[in-house]
Amino acid sequence: MHVMGYHLFSADGFKMMIIPCSIYFQMPYQNNTQGLLRSQYYLSLVHVASLFPGMSIVQAASSFSEVCTTAILRSVNGVLAVLCSILVYEIITLLRPTLSEGKATICAVVLALYPLHWFFTFLYYTDVASLTAVLAMYLACLKKSYWLSAVLGALAVVIRQTNIVWMLFVACTGVINITLVRPRDNVEVNDTNTAIRKSNRSTSNDDVTSGSNLRQRKFSNSLGTDKHSMPSASLVSTNHSSGLLDEVKVIFLALWHMKWELLVSFSPFLMVFVAFLAFIRWNGSVVLGAKEAHTVSPHFAQIMYFGLVSALAVAPLHCSKGQVVDLFRSFWKRRPISFFQVFVAVIAGVFSVHFFSLVHPYLIADNRHYPFYLWRKVINAHWSMKYLLVPLYVYSWFSIFSTLGKVQRKIWVLAFFLATAAVLVPAPLIEFRYYTIPFYFIILHSHINDYQSWLLMGLLYLAINVFTMMIFLFRPFHWDHEPGIQRFIW
């Protein structure tokens, strides 16, 4: 059930959500008995279960209907948004242990203001829950709690079926973190024959860092007992400057030497994936609900739109003079191959927008959404406009690749791009909400170190949020063919 109206959190609704969550997270809540707290927590679990088929009897209960009000339902995302910010903070501090806690807090606060995430915090919709589940799954995988990560992945898939792709991506990052480790002495592997070496030492005694710059910090107990560090096992060493093919070769060598250990560790992800395949066979489609409106389509232009939107969302970085100069210098150092890459990217972009720029019926029929106006006033304003935007698409993706490539391995960047394409390309409808999860992965792995960039991003997000909320609240309109008040949303 999706309620598309707007409602600020009421005090009673917020309290009804904080009480059960305080039990789960063992947070103090005064002036309430333990029995009352536990009963209200169980009541919230009943509400979640009632959303599944076969629970109409529970929904019919008068006591439940009194609790299941619009305000309380919309308060769910408020609690999840707070939890999401905590997850962002934990992931940032785990990926970047040298980052100060103050700067990590600023990053979490600014990302909480990301317009697509912030706006749907006030509505009873699945976006905030989906992002929270995916981030929790990723954090658990970074801590090498693979069973917990797979369980959270299953929850993410239940919330939104396309999250199966992000579960597979998270599993891939786990494999990369295990197979591509770099010892403290930063030994560079120039020959793949020397990429695999014997090690009788446990990884718990080695300060290793992974392709995601994962280091031991405050979770030393969970990371120190890495069961993949076996006697006579393979310890793979690569350098960030190594090529993509070198990393692939090293991974395959490591996978062969550690096949049984990796199979056991990542079997939970495999079980969730097999269950998802069984679901597709039973359901006849990936999505629930209106299947005819969500048919798989080759919408390759969607990946172009995402690159530009993500670059604009981090405009202080990607649209800065320094970033443009850095990209130009990087291209100039590798002139022949760089120019060839740009040429291929431009041709692919033109090909995508010409043959695979789809127009979903919902896009041109529903004027409540901002993509409706962006399509009419920008992309489709003139027949040449979609081609003129291709250079911006190409620059956006090269800037994103450059930023990620500074701190991530090439195989990680490739896996991320393939996962993003697997989620966005089959979607025929232009929906900025689909961009939220891949954007968060980009920003979490882009090392933006200066306060000025984060401050500018925060001000940009605040300005957009104020604008969209003012339009939502004070610019309602009516449809002639349908009764009721309509409002502008993302």
For residues 334 and 25, the model is more confident at: 334
Examine the pLDDT at 4 and tell me if it is beyond 60. no
What was the pLDDT predicted at 24? 34
| Mean pLDDT, residues 178-187 taken together | 53
Share of the chain above pLDDT 90, in %: 44
Residue 345 located in a structural domain: yes
Give tens-digit pLDDT for 54-83: 444 445 545 666 677 777 887 888 899 999
Closest CA to 70 of 15, 1, 21: 1
Closest CA to 220 of 108, 152, 134, 144: 144
Residue 76 located in a structural domain: yes
pLDDT band of 466, cuts 50, 70, 90? very high
Helix (H) / strand (E) containing 164: helix 163-179
On whether both 102 and 139 belong to a single domain, the answer is no
What was the pLDDT predicted at 238? 53
On whether both 358 and 275 belong to a single domain, the answer is no
Examine the pLDDT at 109 and tell me if it is beyond 70. yes
For residues 449 and 49, the model is more confident at: 449
On whether both 245 and 357 belong to a single domain, the answer is no
What's the token pair of residue 246?
């070198």
Examine the pLDDT at 213 and tell me if it is beyond 70. no
Q: Output the pTM of the full model.
A: 0.76
Strand spans (E) along 113-266: 196-199, 233-236
Under a CB-based contact definition with an 8 Å cutoff, are residues 249 and 193 in contact?
no
On whether both 100 and 207 belong to a single domain, the answer is no
What was the pLDDT predicted at 349? 95
Looking at the chain, how many residues does it have?
A: 490
Examine the pLDDT at 192 and tell me if it is beyond 70. no
Contacts of 442 (CB under 8 A, 6+ apart): 310, 314, 400, 403, 404, 416
Residue 416 located in a structural domain: yes
What was the pLDDT predicted at 240? 56
Domain coverage including residue 435: 293-449
Residue 146 located in a structural domain: yes
On whether both 277 and 189 belong to a single domain, the answer is yes
Taken in order 445, 446, 447, 450, the sign of the CA dihedral is negative
Examine the pLDDT at 239 and tell me if it is beyond 70. no
Closest CA to 272 of 175, 126, 176, 163: 163
Q: What is the mean pLDDT of the chain?
A: 78
Examine the pLDDT at 171 and tell me if it is beyond 70. yes
Spatial separation of the C-alpha atoms in residues 34 and 19, rounded to whole Å = 11
Give tens-digit pLDDT for 294-327: 778 899 999 999 999 999 999 999 988 888 998 9
Examine the pLDDT at 352 and tell me if it is beyond 60. yes
Give tens-digit pLDDT for 393-422: 999 999 999 999 888 899 999 999 999 999
Number of domains in the chain: 3
248, 272, 288: which is the final residue of a domain? 288
